[in-house]
Chains A and B, each alone.
Chain A
Amino acid sequence: MLKHLKSIKNFFVQEFSSLRLAITLFVFLAISTLIGTILPEEPMVGRAKLLEKYGEQNYLLLKGLGFTDVFHSWWYLALLTMLGANLITASVRRVFPKWYLAFSLPVDLRAESIPRLPVNCNIEVNGNGSALLGKIEKKLKEKKFKTVLSENKLKAVKGAWHRIGASVTHVGILALLFGCAISVLTGFNGMAQLSENEGFYLADLGGRTDQIRSTEVDNWVVPISKMPIWFGRISPYLVRVNKTWREEYDNGAPKQWYSDLSVLDENKTEIARKTIFVNNPLEFMGLDVYQSNWGKFAETTFNDQKISLPVETINGKDVIFLPLSKDIGLKFKVLQDLIEVYSMSPNLEKEKLLGKINKGDMLQMGPINIGYYGTVTFTGLQFKSNPGYFLIYPGLFFIILGVFIAFGSKKQIWGQLIPENNKIIIGGKSDRAKAYFAREFEEIISEVVNSK
């Protein structure tokens, strides 16, 4: 029974560490990733669009097979898991044990094996054979080979350290996979929308997704969305927006959004402060806060009902569009302390001024009264805790390092003087650049032979 188990285990280890499995998995992953790229994915385009495209029956069928969301389907995850298993077993069984090869000299070869090397030649010796072998050694040393010469036998190696590249890359990929798994399983993230002088606390609000007012003035409680395995630590910080503004290009297009943020501890003492903008987040004690969007809103009332309308900037002017039907609507020009109301319609050559509303005032237009109470700016912040980071960054670094180290080939040369036949047999091989090595070998031999 135990023997049986062992053979099963051996079988799995054998199969899971094979190069063939790695290639097969790469092929399947490449094909399924391609499918996922070409087919529209539900998280990207939304369910409605897919229903429209496929019809309900086909949609349900495709959803069942995982084609509506390939990258989160069970089979894609299974492929990735298999690749992970393959990577671990292959690294432990095949890649890491070869580590020592990077620092060792070539193994001894018997004389009869040398003519079987991919590149080899015989050199007739007319004088002192050992001297000629010594000359070859000297030449190889000149070409930065590491050499050993003993009893008519010569061994040389160059570039063996490239062999650790594969180990380093595999360590990097493993670290990356583990780091991502930790982040995906145990982190949290969320969004907050604040105006100036407001702040937010993070909280686990169960199923709630909207931010709510906290008991303090001008502060919010913002829900987090948790990853599946949750270790339950939410930092008690208050993140405050001191100021938020935007920069524009001459044509009014947004150039950059800024938010000046402070992180306050429980006693309201500032422990960090930074002005963030897109591409420049605040990173503080495992919590990252990003600038994700920015908006200006006009506080208005329509028949005493409060509505915040988004302000757009067109040609440097702040305007609000309020479409009433496809081509008819209202346009508000937002000026200092007042807004002007215009009508929009395709039949009118010019927009028509309907009235002005001062800040804090109302305008009666037939049955509708419109009030204006000034503008507020909101900054859209995204936040995230990413516990896998301590593995992800080194992992990425090792992958890059590894592929660079692996670039290059290990070249080995064996030579032997055979006194009986008065000749030197010498040959060599390279693990990667074979034709290039053949040329290099030819160069070395002809330089030695022609100089004698």
Chain B
Amino acid sequence: MNLFKFSVEETLFFNISGIAVFIAFWLYAVSWMNTKLDFFRKSGSLCLFVSLISLTVALVFRGMALNFFPLTNLYESLVIFAWAIIAAYLFLEYRFKINYFGWFVSGFLLIVFLYATWLPPGQKQIAPLVPALQSYWRVIHVPPLLMSYALFLIGAFSSVAYLVEVKRSRKDKNKSVSINKEITSGVIIKTSSREVSEKAQFFDEVTFRCVTFGFPLLTIGVINGALWANHAWGALWQWDPKETMALVTWFIYAIYLHFRLNSKASGTVLALISLIGLAMVYLTYLGVNQFNFGGLHTYGKIE
């Protein structure tokens, strides 16, 4: 059996990925302390990109060993979660220039990697699938959810940054700021915002972006889960703890989006909602099994 051979290669690429994240962490940290060192930040991003590629390769090897998409236990789910975080972060950094969070994101990734490595062997080994999990639905139910969790995580980092920024610039009680920017002589662009500073407005918007990306994915994941449950168990919804926790998370981010419709909504409250949302994501993803709420989604449980 060549299962063992694949495992070695998988481990190799998994380790490359972890080391790349570790290097990225320090590069980002240095560039964070001195914003002039843009080269370090760029190298950090490059390292994260390398990590993403080698993690993809590791997943391909594992998928080949399993003969199907490697998403069958907590270890594989964590690896794909890490993949989603890196992919989401790199995309957001490229698209919206969120350079501030590289440090937090790669630091968090290290925790995910370590957690995945320290899992008991029962949760890591390549094991056959029980009948209920053998379905193409598995592939369209779980990845959108992991991607949404990754986005909510980055959104929460941004919320923390927002709260810090607001706290720091509390000195001026006047809440709205207007920024005047001269682009050429005589042409001044006036931007007014209700946030305390340009940075705060930026952080607020990064969170919002993450939630607007993540919410549709969460919705799709939950709905696909319901459709799958209908195919496998004959019921769309069974009030299983994982289902209800996902519903709580959905409610929290629905609150976020509806609260934002209100033009007088305070950014601080929005940031706090996003943090509560992340706590719910944690409970949904890991807490349900860790705190033994029971139910049908016990596949990722540590015995």
Contact = CB atoms under 8 A, between A and B. Distances in A.
Contacts of A38: 291, 293
A449 interface: yes
A30 B248 CA distance: 5
A400 B144 CA distance: 12
Given A71-B244, A123-B187, A446-B183, A434 B205 contact: yes
Contacts of A278: 131-132, 134, 232
Given A256-B134, A396-B226, A445-B183, A290 B189 contact: no
Contact of B239 (A41, A119, A384): A41
Interface stretch (A60-68, A141-149, A354-362, A435-443): A435-443
Given A29-B251, A34-B248, A71-B244, A40 B294 contact: yes
A388 to B, nearest CB: 10
A279 B134 contact: yes
B251 to A, nearest CB: 4
Interface string B201-224: 110110011001101100110010
A122 interface: yes
A403 B261 CA distance: 15
Nearest to A403: B216
Interface string A408-452: 000000000000000000000000111110100110011001100
A366 interface: no
Interface in A382-422: 382-384, 392, 396, 399-400, 403-404, 406-407
Given A396-B223, A434-B205, A30 B128 contact: no
Contact of A121 (B190, B205, B226, B252): B190
A171 to B, nearest CB: 15
A399 B228 CA distance: 17
Contact of B201 (A115, A396, A435): A435
Contact of B128 (A41, A120, A255): A255
A37 B297 CA distance: 13
Contacts of A384: 234-235
B168 interface: no
B234 A189 contact: yes
A64 B53 CA distance: 56
B209 to A, nearest CB: 7
Given A435-B201, A436-B96, A26 B258 contact: yes
A374 interface: no
A433 B223 CA distance: 27
A304 interface: no
B216 A400 contact: yes
B255 interface: yes
B262 interface: yes
A22 B137 contact: no
Q: Looking at A23, A36, A251, A256, which has the most chain B CB atoms within 10 Å of its CB?
A: A23
Contacts of B209: 433, 436
A133 to B, nearest CB: 14
Nearest to A32: B248
A249 interface: yes
A246 to B, nearest CB: 9
B116 interface: no
A30 B251 CA distance: 6
Interface in A284-316: 288, 290, 292
Interface in A234-258: 249, 251, 253-257
Contacts of A257: 131
B46 interface: no
Nearest to B200: A435
Given A118-B192, A396-B227, A433-B205, A37 B248 contact: yes
Interface in B172-200: 181, 183-184, 186-193, 198
Contacts of B262: 19
B244 A449 contact: no
B236 to A, nearest CB: 7
A47 B37 CA distance: 63
Given A189-B234, A279-B135, A407-B212, A118 B193 contact: yes
A55 B51 CA distance: 54
B184 A449 contact: yes
B119 interface: no
A392 B84 CA distance: 30
Given A37-B293, A124-B187, A446-B184, 12 more contacts: A71-B244, A254-B131, A278-B232, A279-B137, A281-B231, A403-B216, A407-B212, A433-B205, A433-B209, A434-B193, A435-B202, A442-B189
13 contacts: A26-B255, A26-B258, A30-B252, A37-B283, A119-B190, A122-B187, A255-B134, A278-B134, A280-B135, A433-B208, A434-B193, A449-B184, A450-B184
